[in-house]
Amino acid sequence: MHWNRSNVIGLAKKTCKYCKGSGIRIAERWDRETPCNCVYRAVFRTCYTRFRECNAASRMSVVSLEFSSGPEGRQTFSRKREEFVADFCLVSRRILDDAEHQIFRFFFLLGADWRLCTRQLRMERGTFFHMIYRIQQKLGREFAALEPYSLYPVAEYFSSVIGQPAPPPRPAMKPRNRGVRQLPLPLSA
């Protein structure tokens, strides 16, 4: 995803002490503007909300017909909800290390309370929430940067056209009448 000020201002947290609600901060290493971590956490929360919606509606599987680009304009069937849930879980597993994934699994996937998580993982509350924020930042950055089909924005993920739009159909060819001459119609007065 290409980040600019108009993309991040709606996702930025107004009380963020780093970007002060603008969503953009200057990276010291490269001396250029990058999205703030509060934006990446908002991206994660958006994807997580859609993940929970898809998970809640998983009993009613819906098959959708999608058009893909190409000279013939083929159509494919898919189960977008299941694909989104699988992509969400697989990307999370690939990006996070073992300790982070264990916290992610307990807190986000299984829905355990923070008290239960800290007791089960033998962590302090502050350390646990710092890990949660770091997990949200890592996954939000990755969900927006996936290529060729990112999980964020979720509306594009659930759109019905894959790739470029299919070209318009060719006009039908008129059959030629060989040997038969067509006369013009007489004009009526």
Q: Please write the tens of the pLDDT for every residue from 112-148.
A: 999 999 999 999 999 999 999 999 999 999 998 888 8
CA–CA gap between residue 3 and residue 147 (Å, rounded):
15
- What pLDDT shows up at residue 19? 83
Listed residue (52, 39, 66) closest to 144, CA to CA: 39
Measured CA to CA in angstroms, residue 91 lies from 40, 61, 97, 175 at distances of 15, 22, 12, 54
CA–CA gap between residue 36 and residue 41 (Å, rounded):
9
**Residue ranges per structural domain of the chain:** 5-162
Q: When comparing pLDDT for 167 and 90, which is higher?
A: 90
What's this model's pTM, rounded to 2 decimal places?
A: 0.74
For residues 26 and 32, is the Cβ–Cβ distance under 8 A?
yes
- What pLDDT shows up at residue 70? 66
Tell me the CATH number for domain 5-162: 1.20.140
| Residue 166 pLDDT greater than 50, yes or no | no
